[in-house]
Structure 1
Amino acid sequence: MKTINDLFILEGMKESAVLAGHRGLTRNVQFVNISDTPDVIKFLDSNHLLLTTGYAFKDDIQQMCELIKHMHALNCSGMVIKINRFLKELPTEVKLLADDLAFPIIDLPTKHTLGEVSRHILNYLNDDETEQLYYALHVQKEFSKMMIKGYSMSALIEQLGHFLARPTLLLNHRGEKIASSHHFGMESMKTVEREIIQKVKEDLVSSRQGRTFTIPLRDNQSITTFPVQTKRLFPSMLVIFDSLTLPYPSSQMAIEQAGNVISFTLIKEQAIEENSRLLKNNFFDELIEMRIGSEEEILSRGNYYGLKENMDNICMVCTVDQKGQNYESLQLYEKKVGELYNSIYDQLEDEIIQNDIEAILFTKEKYFVMILQFPKFGEVDSDTLTNFINNCQTNIQGDFSISFGVSNPVFSIKDITTAYHEAVEALLTGYEMNKLGFVNFYKPKELEELLSSVPKKDLKALYENTLKSLAYPKTKEEQELVKTIQVYLDSQCEISETSRKLFIHRNTVKYRIEKTEEMLNCSFRDPVDSLRMRVALIIGSILKENESNA
C-alpha cells in the first residue's frame, strides 16, 4: 500500500508543501475523495485522502478542527487543501492540532485542479505499471537536474544508492571502479568491493551484458550488473546489491532511467577526454614536424603527456590494413570507418593497461602511434614488446587486420621524431612486400641497398673510374690483384692477416698492394681512397649480380 510520502512524485503533488503533521506522512493511502461540504466526514473511511478548497471552513475554523479529529479517529490519510483559495494561510490552532495528531495537511498550488490531482493519484494507486513509470520518471528527473547542475559522477552514484537503499558501484568497461556509494567507505566493504571487481573481471563479457552472481563475503548475497552504454565499444557497468529484492516501486525501469542519465554524464566526460586527446595529438604532430622551438619546451610538454626523461623510447606505428573486401566495403561508410578507428584506439588503450606497459598513445593521420618507454631496453623488454604486439593483434583484429612498424630504441624525447620515421618506414616496407597483418622491425638500409637505387650507368662509371684496368680483369695476375685488394681492405689493411687468409707470403701481399696502388694512383691507407675502393668493389658485385640475373 502507498503512503502520503509516495505521492510527491506525481504532477501537482510534487509542487505541494506540507503545512502540518509531518510525522504522519507515512500514513497509508487507498482512496481519494473530493469535497467542500461540511458533512464530508460521512463519506470518508480508513486510508481515505481528502482533497478540498477549504470553502466550508473559511468562516468556521473550529469546524475544521472537529473534522480533523474525526478523520484522525477514522484513520484517514490526511488532507490536501488549496490554502490560497479561501483561507490564505493555515490557522495556528489547526496547525497545532495537526502536528499533535501527526495528521498531514498539504498545501496544493492553485494552478492545479482538484480533479486533475485526484486522477493522477487514483491512477497511481490502482495501476502498478503506472506507479513504476511515475517513479522511474521521478528518478530520471532528479538525476537529470543533477547532471545539468554539473554534479560529479560520485554524487550521482551516491544518489542512486540513496534512492535504492542499496550499495552501488559504477565500473568502466574494463571492470575498474569509477565511483561508489558511501557504503563502500567502511573498511569491511572495501574487501567486498575488491571481490566484486574480481568477479566482474573474471567474466567481463557477461558482466557487460548484465548478470547476477553471489559473493561469499556477504553470505552469498546477490550482486547484479546493469550495462551503461557510452561512446566506447563496450559498456560501463552499474553494480547493485540485492537488486532482485528491491522494495516496490524501485523497479528495474527506475534503474534504467538512472543509468541513462549516468550514460549521458559519461559521454560528456568522454567528450572532454577527446578534446584532451586532440591537444595531445597536436603536441605529437608538432614534435614530429619539428615545430617546437626549444629542447626545454619539448621536455616540458612531453612530461605533461607522460613521456619520461632518461628512458629508452621505442616508437610503434599501427594501422588498419587498407586492403581486402571487408575494409573496402567499410570505406563506403565514412561513419563506420570513424567508429572503427575510435574502437581500435580504445582497445589499444585497454591493451596498454592490461599488459602493464609504459606507453603513451597518439594518433597521426591514419596511424596509431605508441611510444613505449623502458629504463634500459634489452632482450627481456624485446620479448615483452613482441608479446604485447601479439596480444594487440589477437584481441583487436576482427573482420579486418592491423599491421605494426617498430623503430629502434632512441634515448632522448627529442629523438622520437627519428624513431617515428623509422617505424613508418618499417610499416611501409612490409606493405611493399605485399604483407597483411604483419609486424616489421626497422632495419637500416645496407650500403648495397642504397647503391642499388643509383642508376646503373652512374654505378658503372664510378666502378670503371676507380678500378681502371682492373675493373674487368682478364689475366690471372689481374684477378689475383683484385682479390688481394678485397681481402686486404676487409682485414683493415693488415698485411699479416691478409697473408694468412690468402695463404701467401706477407712479402707477396706487400708487393701486390704496392703494385696496385701504383696502377690506380691511390693509397689504401688514405681514408678517402680506401672508402672509394670499398664502394667500387661493392658496385662490382652488384653489376655482376645484375648480369647473371639478366
Structure 2
Amino acid sequence: MDIMQQDKITESFLERVFIMKTINDLFILEGMKDAVVLAGHRGLTRNVQTVNISDTPDVINFLTENQLLLTTGYAFKDDPESFCELIKQMHDLNCSGLVIKISRFFRQLPIEVKLLADELAFPIIDLPTSHTLGEVSRHILNYLNDHKAEQLYYALHVQKEFSNMLIKGYSLGALLEQLGHLLARPALLLNHRGEIIAQSNDFLKESTKEIKREILQKVKEDLPAAREGTAFSIPSREHQSFSTFPVQTKRQYPSMLVIYDSLTLPYPSSQMAIEQAGNVISFTIIKEQAIEENSRLLKNNFFSDLIEMKIHSDEEIFNRSNYYGLQKDMENICVVCTIDAQGETYETLQLYEKKVGELHNTVYDQLEDEIINENLEATLFTKGKYFVMILQFPKYGDEEINRITQFLENAQANFNGDFTLSFGVSHSAPSLKEIPNVYHQAVEAILTGYEHHLKGFVKFYKTKDLEELLKSLPRKDLKALYENTLKSLAYPKSKEEQELVKTIEVYLDAQCEISETSRKLFVHRNTVKYRIEKIEELLNCSLRDPADSLRVRVALVIGSILLEEQEAFK
C-alpha cells in the first residue's frame, strides 16, 4: 500500500470519527446500558447532537433538532393527551427521542403514548431510578463532545462484554464471532505459526475464501512483523488491508488477532477496543493452554509407564500408543533432546536450571513446530530433563537417516537463545514394545556426546563391541576376571610363558584347528599339541569347551585393555 492510498484511508477514517451519533450508540454509556426501550424502536437510528433536561409543560419551546430530552414526566403524569401532543411536536421538530423515569410518576407508559411513538418511530426510553438525570446527561454530553472519551467508553463496554463471555466459558470461536459482530469486520485468530485457531462466520463464507488465503500467505511471509502487530495490504483488493494485533500467551511468541479492513473501522470502534477484546482472548488461550498442559502431563505419564515397563499387556500398549498418535507396524526411532549445560560453578548451574525451566515450553513448542514443518510422523513427550520424540517410518534406511539429520540440524539452527540443543538418536525398532530399548539407546547416545565434551551435536547410537563393554566395567572386576582365568599366564615373564599365551591367541583365532595353528606359528603340529595340553593343565580348562573358550577369549581382551592403560600411564 503506497503513502497516497494510506492517506486516503486515514482521511476516510477521520471523517467517520466525527459522524453524528445515534440513539443506538448511547447504550454503551453508564446508566444507558440498563435503560429499556418502551416504544418507537424503529427510531433508534435518529441522530443525537445535544441533551436537554426539563420537567416543564412548555419544554417544546426550548428544544431543538437532534436534541434528546431527559425528564421524569411529572408535567404529564395525569395528562396522557398533553404527553401525546409533546411527542407529535418533538417528532415534527426532528428531536432525537425522550428518556423518562417511567416508574417515578407513571406505573407504566400510557398505551396511547406508546401507540403514537411506535407509529412515528419516536423512541421513548425508560431510565432506571438508580441513575439521576444529571449523571446520565453528563455521560451523554461527554460522549457526544469527545470522540476519545467515546472510544474509551466503547472499549470498556467491549472489555466488560468479553469478560462476561470468558467467565461463562465461551469458546474462542464464539469470542471471534462476537468481535467480528461488534467491529462489523471479519476476524481471525492465528497461532504463532500463522495457523487458524478460530474465525468469525464471515471468514467461513465462500466469498471470503480467497481473501483468507491471501491473508494467511502474507502473515506467513513475514511472521516476525505479524507477531508484533502491523498492517498488510491485500494484493487482490486495491485500497483494502488487514491488521494484526499480538495476543500474548505463556508461549515465547504471541498468537495473532487479524482484523480485515481495520483501518476503516465503523465508529466508535478503535484499536483500544480491539486490544481489550485481545486481552480477554489472551486469557482464554492461556486457560486452554493450561488444559493442554494437563493433557500433556497424562501423555508423559503414559510414556514413563511405557519406558519403565509398567504396562504389561500388549493390547494396552498398542491401544494407548495409538491414542497418542503412535501406529503399529512402523519402524520406531527415538530422538532425545536436551538443552546443553553451561558452566560448572554453583552459581552458573543455578542460573542454567532457572533458564532451562523458563525455556521448557519454548523448546517444546519449537520441536512441535519443526515436526509439523517437516511433515513427520512423530509424537513428542518429555521425561525429566529430556524432550523425547518417537519418529515413525514405514521403512528405515539411508534416506530416512538423512531426513532425520536435516530435521534436527534445522531445529538447532532455528533455536533462538543463549543455549544450544543436542540430540541423541537411536537405532530403529519394528515394534512399539521395543520403545524402551530405543529410548535407552538415544539417552546413551546423548550421554556419549557429553562424555566427549561436545555441545550442539547430533549423535546416532552405536552398538558397543566387546572391548567397549568391558571398558565400562570397574577395573578391579576386570583384573580379577583376568587373573582368575589365565592364572600364572596372566603376567608371562619367561619366554616359554609368552609362547604359551601366543599359542592360546592363535589357536582360538584358528577355531581350535591344530594344523592351522602350527602353520601360523611356524612350528610342528606336535609342538602345538604339547603346548595346548600344557595350557589346559595350567588353566584347568578345555579350550574346545565353548564356555571355557569364551572365558579365555574375554580374558585375553581384558589383558589388552589393561596393557593399553598401563602403557598410557608410563
Q: What is the TM-score normalised by the length of structure 1?
A: 0.92
Q: Which amino acid aligns with 1:527?
A: P
Contact 2:500 2:535 in 1 (8 A): no
Matched, 1:109 2:124: no
Distance 2:230 2:474 in 1: 68
Matches within 5 A, 1:71-110: 71-110=90-129
Q: Which amino acid aligns with 1:517?
A: I
Matched, 1:517 2:532: yes
Instruction: Report the equivalent of 1:5.
Output: 24
- Specify whether residues 33 and 509 from structure 1 end up closer, same or farther in structure 2 by C-alpha distance, changes over 3 A only: farther
Q: CA deviation at 1:542?
A: 2.1
- Specify whether residues 68 and 335 from structure 1 end up closer, same or farther in structure 2 by C-alpha distance, changes over 3 A only: farther
Matched, 1:340 2:359: yes
- Residues 71-130 of structure 1 show CA distances to partners (whole Å, capped at 9, x for unaligned) of 111110000011111121111111111111111111111111111111110111011111
Q: CA deviation at 1:450?
A: 3.0
Contact 2:34 2:127 in 1 (8 A): yes
Percent identity between the two aligned chains: 72
SS of the residue corresponding to residue 429 of structure 2 reads: coil
Contact 1:171 1:237 in 2 (8 A): yes
Instruction: Report the equivalent of 2:174.
Output: 155
Distance 1:8 1:128 in 2: 16
Matched, 1:536 2:551: no
Matched, 1:269 2:284: no
- Specify whether residues 154 and 101 from structure 1 end up closer, same or farther in structure 2 by C-alpha distance, changes over 3 A only: same
Higher alpha-carbon deviation: 133-142 or 323-332 = 323-332
Q: CA deviation at 1:282?
A: 1.4
Matched, 1:171 2:186: no
- Specify whether residues 519 and 330 from structure 1 end up closer, same or farther in structure 2 by C-alpha distance, changes over 3 A only: closer
Matches within 5 A, 1:122-521: 122-219=141-238, 221-324=240-343, 328=347, 331-332=350-351, 336-454=355-473, 459-460=478-479, 462-463=481-482, 466-467=485-486, 482-483=501-502, 485-490=504-509, 492=511, 502=520, 511=526, 514-521=529-536
Contact 1:79 1:106 in 2 (8 A): yes
Contact 1:18 1:104 in 2 (8 A): yes
SS of the residue corresponding to residue 421 of structure 1 reads: helix
Over the residues paired in the alignment, what is the CA RMSD in angstroms? 2.6
Contact 1:12 1:112 in 2 (8 A): yes
- Specify whether residues 111 and 78 from structure 1 end up closer, same or farther in structure 2 by C-alpha distance, changes over 3 A only: same
SS of the residue corresponding to residue 285 of structure 2 reads: helix
- Specify whether residues 466 and 331 from structure 1 end up closer, same or farther in structure 2 by C-alpha distance, changes over 3 A only: closer
Higher alpha-carbon deviation: 101-110 or 189-198 = 189-198
Instruction: Report the equivalent of 2:13.
Output: none
Distance 2:357 2:160 in 1: 33
Q: CA deviation at 1:391?
A: 1.5
Q: CA deviation at 1:469?
A: 6.6
Q: CA deviation at 1:225?
A: 0.9
Distance 2:477 2:170 in 1: 73
Contact 1:315 1:369 in 2 (8 A): yes
- Specify whether residues 513 and 33 from structure 1 end up closer, same or farther in structure 2 by C-alpha distance, changes over 3 A only: farther
- Specify whether residues 16 and 454 from structure 1 end up closer, same or farther in structure 2 by C-alpha distance, changes over 3 A only: closer
Unaligned runs of 5+ in 1: none
SS of the residue corresponding to residue 8 of structure 1 reads: helix
- Residues 383-413 of structure 1 show CA distances to partners (whole Å, capped at 9, x for unaligned) of 1111121112111252122222222222222
Q: CA deviation at 1:429?
A: 2.4
Matched, 1:118 2:137: yes
Q: CA deviation at 1:69?
A: 0.8
Distance 1:397 1:494 in 2: 63
Select which of 503, 527, 532 maps to 2:546.
527
Distance 2:93 2:355 in 1: 67
Higher alpha-carbon deviation: 220-229 or 481-490 = 481-490
Distance 1:492 1:295 in 2: 43
Higher alpha-carbon deviation: 42-51 or 81-90 = 81-90
Q: Which amino acid aligns with 1:271?
A: A
Matched, 1:50 2:65: no
Distance 1:404 1:328 in 2: 26
Distance 2:366 2:548 in 1: 56
- Specify whether residues 535 and 68 from structure 1 end up closer, same or farther in structure 2 by C-alpha distance, changes over 3 A only: same
Q: What is the TM-score normalised by the length of structure 2?
A: 0.89
Instruction: Report the equivalent of 1:61.
Output: 80
SS of the residue corresponding to residue 301 of structure 2 reads: helix
- Residues 348-368 of structure 1 show CA distances to partners (whole Å, capped at 9, x for unaligned) of 222221222222121222222
Distance 1:247 1:440 in 2: 58
Higher alpha-carbon deviation: 7-16 or 445-454 = 445-454
- Specify whether residues 39 and 460 from structure 1 end up closer, same or farther in structure 2 by C-alpha distance, changes over 3 A only: closer
Higher alpha-carbon deviation: 475-484 or 525-534 = 475-484
Contact 2:514 2:528 in 1 (8 A): no
SS of the residue corresponding to residue 409 of structure 1 reads: strand
- Specify whether residues 430 and 476 from structure 1 end up closer, same or farther in structure 2 by C-alpha distance, changes over 3 A only: same
